Amino acid sequence: MDNNSWYCSELLYDAFKEANDTQDFFELNPMTFKDPNTHAFFPAWVNYYKQLKQDIPEGKPGMNPGLISRSNKIEILPIQSFNP
């Protein structure tokens, strides 16, 4: 967050915030990039942030698709088949 770039969920977070008169709409949660069993960073995240030349934002507030999908502020509708 706040690094002059967006990942998918962050873009949605900011769009909903802007549409909500710049008031937070979704709640941010501490992010983790670690394997819950070993508590080591997942290698994919290590490589990803290494390429970005950034520290892994472990524990910093953030958003992901799963958190958005579980929000009580939205309703996910089933896909309707399209028959033209």
Each residue of 24-39: pLDDT tens digit?
999 999 999 999 999 9
Whether the per-residue pLDDT at 83 is higher than 90: the answer is no
String of DSSP letters for the chain: --SS---HHHHHHHHHHHHTTTS--SPPEE---B-TTT-SBPHHHHHHHHHHT----TTSEE--HHHHHT-TT--PPPPPP---
> What residue spans define the domains of the chain?
8-69
Query: Would you say residue 81 has pLDDT above 80?
Result: no
pTM listed for this prediction: 0.72
